[in-house]
């Protein structure tokens, strides 16, 4: 077990990847921002991809990444801002903010990467939405996928979630929030994010600062396109149920080792769903964290330590 993990002196490099148009869903070519950490990419390397939740961005994983690199500095770690978030482009058509589009973008990007610099091992860490994207990709057969998929971490997400949670998302995602400073914005996020669990003021500010961008008036607003909520607003209960069935079918096709993280107070990954995930498909190994809901931030050493051990085994 890795204990007392030090922080490294690594800093990320920001790249932008050109994602081809997806004409079938009227999504034009666009740029996706990717925060690259660690070793310079090379053929035969070990790549870890970390993908954030619905309203978050790639800098959520700074602490986890630095603890991974402290143990293995030869890793290449890639933390994208999913389209519509962070430093990535926004889409003119908000209906492009859906899972099939996200999955297609990652398939194209990582297949092209693997063709240029063959990946020996690729591991995926996905929080909430990022976990669902990983689930979809992990279920694909490698010849169709175009790159290896060795380990999957699902952070507080599974094929099923309560419809009530979807209805709650509609009430706050995309609201036009404006704050006088990053500090004020961070305090507001803290008030609406009790599921993230306890953090010191310093840690919370570091986690929250990338969530904002400065306006021309000197105020700060959330980093994402408010229109990311539009597909959720238009989602019917019938389509939601059908989507769950598809995700369970995909989950049952996953063959790689899978680690499932759950906040014990989660309102998204219910106990029954988590238990079912340990009994079918890849039979995920389950780790639960007390005092946390949706979703563990992977900042506390109690959360990162078992994850680092598992990914670097």
* Alpha carbons 5 and 288: distance in angstroms, whole number: 21
Asked whether the predicted pLDDT for residue 8 surpasses 80, the reply is no
**pLDDT attached to residue 291:** 95
Asked whether the predicted pLDDT for residue 3 surpasses 50, the reply is no
Instruction: Give 188-224 pLDDT, tens digit per residue.
Output: 999 989 999 999 999 999 999 999 999 999 999 999 9
Instruction: Give 265-296 pLDDT, tens digit per residue.
Output: 999 999 999 999 999 999 999 999 999 999 99
| Nearest to 122, CA basis, from 102, 145, 82, 151 | 151
Q: In percent, how much of the chain has pLDDT > 70?
A: 97
List b or e across 51-77, with b for residues whose CB sees 16 or more CB atoms inside 10 angstroms: bbbbbbbbbbbbbbbbbbbbeeeebbb
**pLDDT attached to residue 9:** 60
Instruction: Give 40-83 pLDDT, tens digit per residue.
Output: 999 999 999 999 999 999 999 999 999 999 999 999 999 999 99
* Alpha carbons 129 and 54: distance in angstroms, whole number: 5
Extents of the domains making up the chain: 13-174+224-311
CATH architecture for segment(s) 13-174+224-311: 3-Layer(aba) Sandwich (3.40)
**pLDDT attached to residue 227:** 96
**pLDDT attached to residue 1:** 33
Q: Which two tokens stand for residue 251?
A: 């989950």
- 63 touches 298 (CB < 8 A): yes
| Nearest to 179, CA basis, from 206, 224, 214 | 214
Instruction: Give 139-181 pLDDT, tens digit per residue.
Output: 998 888 899 999 999 999 999 999 999 999 999 999 888 999 9
């Amino acid at each position: 077990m890795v204990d007392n993990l030090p922080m490294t002196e690594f800093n990320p490099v920001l790249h932008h990847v050109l994602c081809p148009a997806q004409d079938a869903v009227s999504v034009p070519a666009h740029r996706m921002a990717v925060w690259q950490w660690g070793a310079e990419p090379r053929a035969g390397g070990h790549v870890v991809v970390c993908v954030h939740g619905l309203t978050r961005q790639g800098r959520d994983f700074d602490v986890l990444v630095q603890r991974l690199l402290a143990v293995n500095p030869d890793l290449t770690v890639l933390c994208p801002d999913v389209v519509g978030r962070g430093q990535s482009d926004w889409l003119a058509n908000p209906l492009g903010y859906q899972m099939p589009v996200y999955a297609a973008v990652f398939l194209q990007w990582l297949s092209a990467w693997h063709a240029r610099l063959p990946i020996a091992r690729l591991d995926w860490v996905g929080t909430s939405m990022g976990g669902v994207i990983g689930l979809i990709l992990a279920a694909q057969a490698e010849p169709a996928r175009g790159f290896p998929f060795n380990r999957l971490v699902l952070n507080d997400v599974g094929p099923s979630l309560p419809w009530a949670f979807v209805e709650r998302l509609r009430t706050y995602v995309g609201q036009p929030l404006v704050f006088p400073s990053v500090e004020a914005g961070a305090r507001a996020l803290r008030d609406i994010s009790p599921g993230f669990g306890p953090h010191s003021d310093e840690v919370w500010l570091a986690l929250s600062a990338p969530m904002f961008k400065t306006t021309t008036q000197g105020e700060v607003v959330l980093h994402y396109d408010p229109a990311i909520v539009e597909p959720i607003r238009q989602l019917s209960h019938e389509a939601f149920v059908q989507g769950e069935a598809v995700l369970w079918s995909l989950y049952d096709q996953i063959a790689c080792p899978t680690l499932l993280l759950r906040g014990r107070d989660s309102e998204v990954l219910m106990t029954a769903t988590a238990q079912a995930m340990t009994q079918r498909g890849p039979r995920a190994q389950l780790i639960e964290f007390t005092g946390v809901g949706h979703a563990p931030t992977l900042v506390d050493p109690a959360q990162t330590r078992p994850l680092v051990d598992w990914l670097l085994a």
